[in-house]
Amino acid sequence: MIHFRNDYSDIAHPHILKRLVDLQHETHLGYGMDDHVEHAKRLINKACGIEGYVHLMTGGTSANKTVIAHLLKPYEAVISAQTGHIEVHETGAVEATGHKIISIPTHDGKLTPSLIVEVYQRHSDEHMVKPKMVYISNATETGHVYLKHELQALHQTCQELGLYLYLDGARLGVALTAKPNDLTLHDIAEYTDIFYIGGTKNGALLGEAVVMKDQAMDAYFRYSIKQQGGLLAKGFVAGIQFEVLFEDGLFFDIGQKANQSAEMLVQELHRLGLSFEATPTNQQFITLPRSVVYELAKHYTFELWHDHGDRQTIRLVTTYRTTLKDIQNLVSDIKRLIE
Amino acid sequence: MIHFRNDYSDIAHPHILKRLVDLQHETHLGYGMDDHVEHAKRLINKACGIEGYVHLMTGGTSANKTVIAHLLKPYEAVISAQTGHIEVHETGAVEATGHKIISIPTHDGKLTPSLIVEVYQRHSDEHMVKPKMVYISNATETGHVYLKHELQALHQTCQELGLYLYLDGARLGVALTAKPNDLTLHDIAEYTDIFYIGGTKNGALLGEAVVMKDQAMDAYFRYSIKQQGGLLAKGFVAGIQFEVLFEDGLFFDIGQKANQSAEMLVQELHRLGLSFEATPTNQQFITLPRSVVYELAKHYTFELWHDHGDRQTIRLVTTYRTTLKDIQNLVSDIKRLIE
Amino acid sequence: MIHFRNDYSDIAHPHILKRLVDLQHETHLGYGMDDHVEHAKRLINKACGIEGYVHLMTGGTSANKTVIAHLLKPYEAVISAQTGHIEVHETGAVEATGHKIISIPTHDGKLTPSLIVEVYQRHSDEHMVKPKMVYISNATETGHVYLKHELQALHQTCQELGLYLYLDGARLGVALTAKPNDLTLHDIAEYTDIFYIGGTKNGALLGEAVVMKDQAMDAYFRYSIKQQGGLLAKGFVAGIQFEVLFEDGLFFDIGQKANQSAEMLVQELHRLGLSFEATPTNQQFITLPRSVVYELAKHYTFELWHDHGDRQTIRLVTTYRTTLKDIQNLVSDIKRLIE
Amino acid sequence: MIHFRNDYSDIAHPHILKRLVDLQHETHLGYGMDDHVEHAKRLINKACGIEGYVHLMTGGTSANKTVIAHLLKPYEAVISAQTGHIEVHETGAVEATGHKIISIPTHDGKLTPSLIVEVYQRHSDEHMVKPKMVYISNATETGHVYLKHELQALHQTCQELGLYLYLDGARLGVALTAKPNDLTLHDIAEYTDIFYIGGTKNGALLGEAVVMKDQAMDAYFRYSIKQQGGLLAKGFVAGIQFEVLFEDGLFFDIGQKANQSAEMLVQELHRLGLSFEATPTNQQFITLPRSVVYELAKHYTFELWHDHGDRQTIRLVTTYRTTLKDIQNLVSDIKRLIE
């Protein structure tokens, strides 16, 4: 089987595993109070150009619900695209902490100032929740990215309306290394209030780094992590991984490699005459005859995204492990099958 | 520094790390739907002598709150010793899911049928919560273990009163290999409704295996895990570790080694004339003059448990990595200092 | 000022106040354990043709959140029209109990089997909440009513999919006495799993009667009421009111009177040539030039429903207290102003 | 039957019912935005000597959980006596909003600075909840009252530790008119951060007035009331009652009458030679032979408080409706039965 299923299917990047083995005889303070976590935080802050507050979490849903539960008052709500991960794919984790998600239909999973303003104005009194946070993801659930002027505009709107802007960076690695991208980690830190840098989908065993700039927002955040069940006893396991990812730019290399494979895949598929809206990151959604999908599934892993009856849309995900040969095989098999 | 701080200070047992490295080129289905998790579940079921339902979680607090939130109705409460981990050291994680903990003072952290019956009878109408679960830990927070007849008696009481009996096995490895222990994993499975087998404090990077026998209790448990933020994307990372722990009895070896070191430590300290109530597992609590503790802290790590002013109680924890030499050094330094 | 603002603006129907005064020297058991509550329950059961379980609550939001929190497991969700009261006008009360509302756009606030089936099928695994309840209101938020065949169809769909059907009857009085209505309280009891009969908007000081048929659903419901803060110490205050409402059909008289006034209002407004989609109950939504609304507001109370700029939609609500003269005055003033 | 059961057994004080009847033809804005509520707030502020923020709630449990959920962050906890209403008799309502109650054993239900300091110091890091509020009740659950110097001392401790001091005044009417009492409503307002004045147990149909001094604490409190299900549609029903209670001192008269009856009862019972610890308010707890209690129950209502086997402790509650004759009858019957 050749693998296009997702970006969290292998254990970890070899450099990370090697480091864990190298350090196996060390002992450390628990719960993220150790030197590796401290060092990882410094590296992340440096990469973001800030003196911020960094917390290493065990996963995306855990990070999202903890951030939201920590920052919002009970009657405050978070605005999300209707396709947002918190709205669709977290089994009501945010609601389980007591907060409503106000969801908005969008074309490509990206929010805009006018969409936010409309929601804000509509929620005008105590019979409705009070919007207090805007949740976006970069890359979005469907592989799109925010450009700098778009993020700046969202940030300005949020500032004006007194809303927190929170960016879910589960796939920030591929977002920041996408071809059209003009954002840096410095920009992300500047134009959001809080965000997380995803490790799990970018080479780590597990781990997401939540970053805040504001001391008042950060206050007692470790209490919230612990209460939400996300405080890793062996915090250094996450710390060591983020050290490896941010020492020499491995974090970006991993994203870039995935994108390069995706780009190659897009070119080859377009060359075949397949028509689809390519995304700038490592997720591509293509629609094929059902019989073709059926045959492909014998040799390739991927997710069925949408079933149209005669035709099916599948999601192809590339990663830093995807090889030129993987892509060539896939494309030539598609070619053969659709002919 | 020689380490007696706790049992979760190293990355993982060498066998576990080796296996992760060996398997690094594999890819797997996400969220615990892979073959390693499947195999780990079979191994655990076999060790327990049941055909039960096993779920691998990321940590103890996460396991506890997920189990409790999953099984209890909103107005139902859990009974715990006043020293229970859920009562004291989880930052209100259980209450954050909406449930009251009814806590009971105990001598050694162990509950008894009569303590439970008293609470049950006192909660008699709809102005009070309805007790529905009994939470125990084995080993307890202070290193004690339940004997078979004690667990059987608790189980019978719970059956009679319609209460779930839930056993927190964060330190089940040392409990089941303690000298006075007469319980097996088969017994644990028989005389509780639900329990978890702790990996984090027994050689794993992370991971606790929740085990249930009853299909109705298990129904939709994965929804609860996901909602509570505990569904690991790379579930196989936990699966592989539990495979290693339960293939050849490594789980028990790790616990036994820790206990043997503890036993040796107790003997040596008693030989010094130190008077303290030894526990049968890897946590020992000894009281020393403040000045002695101060000096010891320069070369040994440990936790300060209680400050009596002139004297201080410290906790010494042994692990599978503790060596004979570590113990000899510690004891001879204590001897030197108290003379 | 003449009043068309809403149906909860006076203290209570004179019969209710008279009864409270008559009984002022009685004393009763607290918390709804008294004879008046018992009698009210019997009257309500009789009116519904069942031997059900009745609970008197303090208000609609309290009833809704208590029912939902009581019946759903943490990961289960409720399906509602996008205009549903729980979705829009309860400040996230349902989410505050931990449950997601899956909302669906509709034309007139009424759900249909196909809308429900679509949502049900889309929520297919543990990464999404599990739909378990359908919430409808009759009359809807915008004054429309369900017909018998519509309610039967919803009920059948819910039965097939294993969903609870819950009917919010805050305005059940006007619904069941609306001209097109072909439902009885017997039907409501037969074709839903749980519903409430609204007192507050139908002549009572406060009070809504939750009705369930199923003993298992009812089990421990009083615990849920108490926990949610809705257990009235002086439960008999609600009990006495429902006695008055259901002894001689006052409940229906109050609704009918409001509808008759609404019908008259619609006829008169249509006669003026005003074009609007009339509803069959006591809420009418008409659109007038801004300047007309401005002038009207000097002598009449009503709610501004939507601002279109030049024109504004206002809501006119009739009640059992609305007089022929009130309507004549309003219509003649509108006539004068729009000419 | 002569009634000593509790202080919420009649519908309402005659003055209150009369006023409701007098005003029955008025219409008002909903949800507490009307003139009666406004006037009631002014009267209450005047009685307290402050310019505070007053909110009328439907009941004690609702008030307690709304205040706590509004003010505390998710990981913050409230300290209460082990006999506190929120700890024992609210079916986990506070925990259902996500907050832990740290309960402390006390002699008479009264907290002291040293008890609070001990809890505060013990909760030292993010593995434990963060104490943030102290909950007291006056009168306490067992009829005792705080003296001025006691309340001042608690207040000072709370100020020093950064804790809110919240006073549950379900029975504030009898507390402030008790013989040993030296507190005024001015003092209550000065030496607490937030409190409520109980109406339900002091002559009202329903209603408790929450009072805060601090604008920041009050911010968005109406959102919290609505979310918790406590925003009465007909807020004026509560407003009118508090107008009646605070126009001419009726609130205090009702409490005083109850206390006077209690005092008389105590004197008579002591004269009989009955030995018991009298309380300064309207709840008295006396212990009698089981057979005497059995006979008394044929002609008097009261609650069984504790069953000692041969003897039983019963609670006798006096109210503003208790007559001299009621007391004489009771005492002479007790006398007859114990002789």
Residues of chain B found within 8 Å of residue D89, distances taken between Cβ atoms: 127-128
Rounded alpha-carbon distances, angstroms, from residue D284 to C155, D142, D181, D259, D297? 54, 8, 17, 10, 16
In this structure, the strands spanning D300-301 and B208-212 are: unpaired
Which of D228, D229, D233 has its CB closest to that of C8? D233
CB-based contact A126 D223, cutoff 8 Å: yes
pLDDT at residue B210, as a whole number: 98
Residues C273 and C331 in one domain: yes
Q: What is the pLDDT of residues D5-19, one digit of tens each?
A: 999 999 999 999 999
Q: What is the pLDDT of residues C158-196, one digit of tens each?
A: 999 999 999 999 999 999 999 999 999 999 999 999 999
Residues of chain A found within 8 Å of residue D223, distances taken between Cβ atoms: 75, 126, 129-130
Are A301 and A328 in contact by the 8 Å Cβ rule? The answer is no
pLDDT above 70: percentage of residues in chain D: 100
Residues of chain C found within 8 Å of residue A91, distances taken between Cβ atoms: 75, 126-129
For chains A and B, count residue pairs whose Cβ atoms are closer than 8 Å.
154
The alpha-carbon gap from A96 to the nearest alpha carbon of chain B, in Å, equals 7
Give just the sign of the alpha carbon dihedral B171, B175, B176, B177: positive
Q: Whole-angstrom distance between the N-terminal and C-terminal Cα of chain A?
A: 22
Q: Which helix (H) or strand (E) holds B162?
A: none
pLDDT band at D107 (very low <50, low <70, confident <90, very high): confident
Residues C62 and C198 in one domain: yes
Residues A44 and A147 in one domain: yes
Q: Of A228, D153, D225, B326, whose CA–CA distance to C91 is shortest?
A: D225
Q: Which helix (H) or strand (E) holds A235?
A: helix A235-247
pLDDT above 70: percentage of residues in chain B: 100
CB-based contact D236 C93, cutoff 8 Å: no
Domain extent for A87: 14-249
Q: What is the pLDDT of residues D128-147, one digit of tens each?
A: 999 999 999 999 999 999 99
Domain boundary among B219, B248, B277: B248
Are C152 and C188 in contact by the 8 Å Cβ rule? The answer is no
- Would you call A300 helix, strand, or coil by DSSP? strand
CATH code where residue C105 lies:
3.40.640.10
CB-based contact C205 D8, cutoff 8 Å: no
Nearest CA in chain C to B125: C223
Mutate one of D87, D99, D100, D306 to test the B interface: name it (highest B CB count within 10 A): D100
CATH code where residue A299 lies:
3.90.1150.10
Rounded alpha-carbon distances, angstroms, from residue B135 to B99, B108, B109, B193? 13, 15, 11, 11
Residues C311 and C330 in one domain: yes
Burial class (CB in 10 A: 0-12, 13-18, 19+), B96: buried
d(CA B178, CA B263): 10
Q: Of D35, D55, D86, whose CA–CA distance to D226 is shortest?
A: D55
Those residues whose C-beta lies under 8 Å from the C-beta of residue D325, and which sit 6 or more positions away, are: none
Those residues whose C-beta lies under 8 Å from the C-beta of residue D174, and which sit 6 or more positions away, are: D7, D139, D202, D255, D258, D259, D281, D282
Chains that touch C (3 or more CB pairs under 8 A): A, B, D
Q: What is the pLDDT of residues D110-132, one digit of tens each?
A: 999 999 999 999 999 999 999 99
Could you identify the residue written with the tokens 């009918």?
C256
Residues of chain B found within 8 Å of residue C129, distances taken between Cβ atoms: 223, 227
Q: Of D113, D54, D100, D80, whose CA–CA distance to D238 is shortest?
A: D54
Mutate one of D91, D132, D141 to test the B interface: name it (highest B CB count within 10 A): D91
Could you identify the residue written with the tokens 């410095």?
A186
CB-based contact D96 B96, cutoff 8 Å: no
Give just the sign of the alpha carbon dihedral A175, A179, A185, A191: negative
Q: What is the pLDDT of residues C87-107, one digit of tens each?
A: 999 999 999 999 999 999 998
Residues B143 and B262 in one domain: no
CB-based contact C227 B74, cutoff 8 Å: yes
Residues of chain A found within 8 Å of residue D98, distances taken between Cβ atoms: 97-98
Are D59 and C229 in contact by the 8 Å Cβ rule? The answer is yes
Q: Count CB atoms within 10 A of the CB of residue A300.
A: 20
Are D187 and D164 in contact by the 8 Å Cβ rule? The answer is no
pLDDT at residue C80, as a whole number: 98
Mean pLDDT over each residue of chain B, to the nearest integer: 97
DSSP state, A319? -
pLDDT at residue D40, as a whole number: 98
Which of C98, C127, C129 has its CB closest to that of B98? C98
Which of B92, B95, B128 has its CB closest to that of D89? B128
Are B229 and B61 in contact by the 8 Å Cβ rule? The answer is no
Are C115 and C104 in contact by the 8 Å Cβ rule? The answer is yes
CB-based contact A205 B29, cutoff 8 Å: no
Q: Of B247, B234, B188, B246, whose CA–CA distance to B212 is shortest?
A: B188
CB-based contact D227 A97, cutoff 8 Å: no
CB-based contact A126 D73, cutoff 8 Å: no
Which of C97, C126, C226 has its CB closest to that of B126? C226
The alpha-carbon gap from B93 to the nearest alpha carbon of chain D, in Å, equals 8
Q: Is the peptide bond before C139 cis (omega within 30 degrees of 0)?
A: yes
CB-based contact C90 A127, cutoff 8 Å: yes
Nearest CA in chain A to D99: A227
Those residues whose C-beta lies under 8 Å from the C-beta of residue D216, and which sit 6 or more positions away, are: none
Are A120 and A60 in contact by the 8 Å Cβ rule? The answer is no
Are B132 and B164 in contact by the 8 Å Cβ rule? The answer is yes
Does residue B232 carry a pLDDT above 90?
Answer: yes
Mutate one of A76, A227, A232 to test the D interface: name it (highest D CB count within 10 A): A227
Q: Which helix (H) or strand (E) holds B136?
A: strand B130-137
In this structure, the strands spanning A283-289 and A311-317 are: antiparallel
Residues of chain C found within 8 Å of residue B127, distances taken between Cβ atoms: 31, 226
Which of A91, A95, A101 has its CB closest to that of C127? A91
Q: What is the pLDDT of residues D209-257, one digit of tens each?
A: 999 999 999 999 999 999 999 999 999 999 999 999 999 999 999 999 9
Are C225 and C68 in contact by the 8 Å Cβ rule? The answer is no
pLDDT (tens, 9 = 90+) of chain A, 339 residues, equals 899 999 999 999 999 999 999 999 999 999 999 999 999 999 999 999 999 999 999 999 999 999 999 999 999 999 999 999 999 999 999 999 999 999 999 988 999 999 999 999 999 999 999 999 999 999 999 999 999 999 999 999 999 999 999 999 999 999 999 999 999 999 999 999 999 999 999 999 999 999 999 999 999 999 999 999 999 999 999 999 999 999 999 999 999 999 999 999 999 999 999 999 999 999 999 999 999 999 999 999 999 999 999 999 999 999 999 999 999 999 999 999 998
Q: What mean pLDDT is predicted for residues D180-204?
A: 98
Residues B105 and B237 in one domain: yes
The alpha-carbon gap from D127 to the nearest alpha carbon of chain A, in Å, equals 7
Its ipTM equals 0.96
Domain boundary among D216, D248, D280: D248
Residues of chain C found within 8 Å of residue A92, distances taken between Cβ atoms: 74-75, 77, 98-100, 129
The alpha-carbon gap from C224 to the nearest alpha carbon of chain B, in Å, equals 6
The alpha-carbon gap from C94 to the nearest alpha carbon of chain B, in Å, equals 13
Residues B278 and B233 in one domain: no
pLDDT at residue C107, as a whole number: 85
Residues of chain B found within 8 Å of residue D90, distances taken between Cβ atoms: 127
Which of D10, D20, D223 has its CB closest to that of C26? D10
CB-based contact B69 C74, cutoff 8 Å: yes
Give just the sign of the alpha carbon dihedral B111, B112, B113, B119: negative
The alpha-carbon gap from B124 to the nearest alpha carbon of chain D, in Å, equals 11
Q: What mean pLDDT is predicted for residues B312-322?
A: 97
Residues D260 and D230 in one domain: no
Residues of chain A found within 8 Å of residue D222, distances taken between Cβ atoms: 126
Give the phi and the psi of residue A47 in degrees, each rounded to 5: -65, -25
Give just the sign of the alpha carbon dihedral C21, C22, C25, C26: negative
Are D2 and D300 in contact by the 8 Å Cβ rule? The answer is yes
Which of B75, B91, B101 has its CB closest to that of D126? B91
Q: What is the pLDDT of residues C281-327, one digit of tens each?
A: 999 999 999 999 999 999 999 999 999 999 999 999 999 999 999 99
CB-based contact C74 B73, cutoff 8 Å: no
Q: Is the peptide bond before A139 cis (omega within 30 degrees of 0)?
A: yes
Residues of chain B found within 8 Å of residue C100, distances taken between Cβ atoms: none
Tokens of B78: 């859990």
Residues A317 and A327 in one domain: yes
pLDDT band at D108 (very low <50, low <70, confident <90, very high): confident
Residues B279 and B240 in one domain: no
The alpha-carbon gap from B109 to the nearest alpha carbon of chain C, in Å, equals 30
Does residue B107 carry a pLDDT above 90?
Answer: no
Are C175 and C168 in contact by the 8 Å Cβ rule? The answer is no
Residues of chain A found within 8 Å of residue D224, distances taken between Cβ atoms: 74-75
For chains B and D, count residue pairs whose Cβ atoms are closer than 8 Å.
52
The alpha-carbon gap from B68 to the nearest alpha carbon of chain A, in Å, equals 13
d(CA B154, CA B148): 10
pLDDT at residue C85, as a whole number: 97
pLDDT at residue C108, as a whole number: 87
The number of distinct structural domains making up chain D is 2
CB-based contact C74 B227, cutoff 8 Å: yes
Residues of chain B found within 8 Å of residue A25, distances taken between Cβ atoms: 10
Domain boundary among C248, C268, C287: C248
pLDDT at residue C88, as a whole number: 95
d(CA D115, CA D210): 26
Helix, strand, coil shares, percent, chain C, to 5: 45, 20, 40
Residues B228 and B306 in one domain: no
Which of C74, C95, C128 has its CB closest to that of A88? C128
Residues C264 and C165 in one domain: no
The C-alpha angle with vertex B14 and arms to B10 and B15, in degrees rounded to 5, equals 135
